[in-house]
Structure formats: structure tokens, C-alpha cells
Amino acid sequence: MTPIPDHRRPRVLHVGKFYPPYKGGMETHIQDLCRGLSAYADVSVLVSNTTSQTVREFEGAIPVQRVAAWANIASAPISPGMVHSIRSTPADIVHLHCPNPTAVLSFLASGHRGRVVITYHSDIIRQKVLRYAYEPLLNRVASRADAIVCFSPNYIESSSTLARFRDKCHVIPHGIDPQRFSQVDRPQVARIRQRYGDRIVLGVGRLVYYKGFEYLVRAVANTNATLLIVGTGPLREQLQQLARDCGAADRIHLLGEVDDVIPYYHAARVFALPSVARSEAFGIVQLEAMACGTPVVNTSLDSGVPFVSLEGVSGRTVPAADVAALGRAITSILDNVHLHARFSDGGRQRVRQLFTVDAMTQKTLQLYDRVLGSVPVALKNPELATV
């Protein structure tokens, strides 16, 4: 392929499932990445809408097209209009975010012949029928891809799909803005602690099977801590009943959605991510807790979870679905002020070194330069640019 002229900003089309204000890990990642890239590249976004209408809008300088969804199959929106949008794009790179059957099908049907980058957010784990139909299509696109972005080296090693394309894989972790999490409403933190005490364990996430919140409820029930869970989902009633059955309903509170989760991170003494399946591919909420100086207790999944918060550095890592080990790890941090301080400092430092939006943006730009065969753009922190 003819190299893109070096003097021109690269044009990149990001193709996702949905886009904020729709809430989800993939959606938040695309938004953060595109905002960071927009200073260096001409970025546009193509996603499905949650309705049967196509909407074109701008988020700042970023064009966002939400294509009409005709139906949903196994939680995957069907948006045939994506085919034309990809076929007609002037972008130098089409950047697909997967798993995303609609994006993969639309890309293949479009006949697009330009450069392709894939961000591989996770395998499809539980939906076996969908995975059986989807994997051959994903393999075709991955074979065409110039590069595949993964969030952790752990996931590359443990994914049977990525094993076939290991030579194309590049590790570029999720990034957040640490400054955002250091700015907190201190009176609100004080109010949370006044209401719930100073031995707060916090969980944040959808109330679904792979989050493992039932193990966290049982673990905290055997301590003298208070558990706050922020999030909604189908297991809410089940978890509430479990708290009652454990005799700890007065110390276990399911808060649903909150306006601002940051004060809860600061009010908590421990953040717990008790996930039990590799559907939890990364756990970006760990970064948010670490940026707030809150030690993390996570699980030793064969995914990116234990890569984000390291055992002995920013918290403790325990076997998945092990109530006793989870409780011991939580208690060890609650009861040891020096250990808490070490993990608090370690978490903040780890986020600043590896998991910032700036680092994610610059590493992605470096990868685009490689894909396009162009001279690298001037980066603010070249030491962060190694992919």
C-alpha cells in the first residue's frame, strides 16, 4: 500500500458497539481514547444507536454517527447501515473494537481494503452459540488486520483466539485521568463515612454473575466491615436476600447508581473486585480506586485483572470464588495501617506510570505511525511511546 503523506494528520474511524451516554467499559474506552487522539488525528466514531433512527452529532470536534438498530440478537445490535458508512469512509485506518459482531460483519460486507486496527476488549465467554458463529468472522478480520491492541499481556497469553495472531498483538493498557480522581468533594466523603463508618469495603459494577459479588457479600458478612456496592443488574434481589441470610443486611448496602462514585472510592478503606470469570477482562474500576489511593483486593483470573492491581504492590490478589481468602485479604488491609498506606501509595504510582489516558493515547499514535509507515508525530512524553 502507498504510504500516507507524513505532513497530514491521520484520519481514523473508530467502530464500536455503542457510545456514551450509553454506559459500558467499551464505550468509555472509545470515548476516552478518541478525546485523547483528537489533538493529533482526525477521529470519527461509528456505532449502533439504541433506537431505529440514525443520528449524526458532534462531541466537541469528534463526529459521532449512531446508526439505526433494526433488532438485537444476543445483546448484539443489528445495524445494516454500518456497511455503507465503512465502505464510504475516507479514513486512513478503520479501528474496530471487538467483540462486536455487527462491526465485524459490517466491515467484511463493506469490502474495505485500507488499514485495519482491532482493539480486542475480551473473548466471548458465556454466549456459546454466538461465539461459534462469530469466531470464524473475527478470524477473517484479524487475518486482515495490520495490528491488534490488547490491554494486558495476560490476555494475550490466555486467549485461544489471540494465540493465532500473537505476532500482530500490541499491549496498550486502558488509561484514565488521575487528576480527575484526585479532585473530590471532601464534605461528601465525610458524609459517607459518617453514615457507614470508617471500615468501608467498596464494590462497583454490574450485578451479574461474573462479577462474583455473592462471594464478596459472604466474605464481608464474616468481618466487622461495611460493604457498599454501586451498580445495578439482574442479581440485585438475590444479593439482598443473601445479605439477609448471612445476618449482615445492616452492614451490606446495594446503592444502585450514584451521581458521582469518586467520593465513595475515597471514603472506602478497601476496594474489592471479586470477579470469577474471564468475562472480566481488565477491570478498569481498579484503576479508578487506585488513582484515589484505595487499596484493591482482586482475583487471580487468567485475564488482565491481576495485571492491573499487582499482588503486594497496590493490594492483594486471591483465588476466585474463595470466600475465606477474600475475607482474610480485606481484613489484613483494614487492620494494618502501614500496609494500607503502602498499597495506597503503590496504586497511585502504578496508575501514573502505566495507566494514564496520555500514555494510552501516545502508544496508540505510535502504533498508527507503524501501520501507516509514516514518520512518528511529536509526542509529549516519548518515553511512554513504546508499544
Please indicate, yes or no, whether residues 164 and 235 belong to a single structural domain of this protein: no
**Which pLDDT does position 4 carry in this prediction?**
40
Please indicate, yes or no, whether residues 245 and 297 belong to a single structural domain of this protein: yes
Number of alpha carbons in the 13 Å side-chain half-sphere of residue 380: 10
* 211 vs 251: CA distance, rounded Å: 20
Which cell goes with 363? 502508544
Question: Residue 236: which CATH number?
Answer: 3.40.50.2000
C-beta separation of 89 from 13 below 8 A? yes
Please indicate, yes or no, whether residues 248 and 285 belong to a single structural domain of this protein: yes
**Which pLDDT does position 5 carry in this prediction?**
45
Please indicate, yes or no, whether residues 344 and 368 belong to a single structural domain of this protein: no
Roughly how many angstroms between the first and final C-alpha of the chain, as a whole number?
23
Predicted TM-score (pTM) of the model is 0.89
Please indicate, yes or no, whether residues 101 and 188 belong to a single structural domain of this protein: no
AA identity, residue 128? K
In a domain, 5, yes or no: no
Please indicate, yes or no, whether residues 18 and 163 belong to a single structural domain of this protein: yes
Residue appearing with cell numbers 487468567: 302
List the one residue out of 258, 234, 254 whose CA is nearest residue 243: 254
Phi, psi of 92 (to 5 degrees): -75, -30
In a domain, 372, yes or no: yes
Running along the chain, 387 residues long, what does each successive block of 10 average in pLDDT? 55 96 89 96 96 94 94 76 96 96 94 96 71 82 96 93 93 95 95 98 96 98 97 97 98 96 98 95 96 98 97 98 98 98 98 97 96 60 40
Alpha-carbon distance values, 133 to 15, 104, 140, 148, 305 (Å): 20, 12, 12, 21, 27
Q: For the residues of 287-316, what is the DSSP string, one character each? A: HHHHHTT--EEEE--SSSHHHHS-BTTTEE
Please indicate, yes or no, whether residues 196 and 337 belong to a single structural domain of this protein: yes
Omega prior to 263 cis, within 30 of 0:
no
- 5 exposure class (CB count in 10 Å sphere: 0-12, 13-18, 19+): exposed
List the one residue out of 111, 78, 82 whose CA is nearest residue 15: 82
Please indicate, yes or no, whether residues 171 and 91 belong to a single structural domain of this protein: yes
Q: Which domain holds residue 203?
A: 178-354
> In the chain, which ranges are continuous DSSP H helix?
25-37, 82-87, 101-110, 128-144, 153-158, 160-163, 178-182, 186-196, 213-221, 236-245, 262-267, 284-291, 305-308, 323-335, 337-354, 357-372
Please indicate, yes or no, whether residues 138 and 118 belong to a single structural domain of this protein: yes
Cα Rg, the chain, nearest whole Å: 21
**Which pLDDT does position 78 carry in this prediction?**
81
Residues contacting residue 335 through CB under 8 Å, at least 6 positions apart:
none
**Which pLDDT does position 29 carry in this prediction?**
94
* 105 vs 50: CA distance, rounded Å: 18
Please indicate, yes or no, whether residues 21 and 155 belong to a single structural domain of this protein: yes
**Which pLDDT does position 130 carry in this prediction?**
59
Residues contacting residue 386 through CB under 8 Å, at least 6 positions apart:
363, 366
Question: How many whole angstroms from its chain centre is CA 57?
Answer: 24
C-beta separation of 52 from 68 below 8 A? yes
* 82 vs 98: CA distance, rounded Å: 15
Please indicate, yes or no, whether residues 183 and 301 belong to a single structural domain of this protein: yes
In a domain, 159, yes or no: yes
* 95 vs 76: CA distance, rounded Å: 19
* 102 vs 16: CA distance, rounded Å: 9
AA identity, residue 135? E
Counting the structural domains of the chain, the total is 2
Q: How long is the chain?
A: 387
**Which pLDDT does position 74 carry in this prediction?**
60
* 44 vs 131: CA distance, rounded Å: 28
C-beta separation of 276 from 299 below 8 A? yes
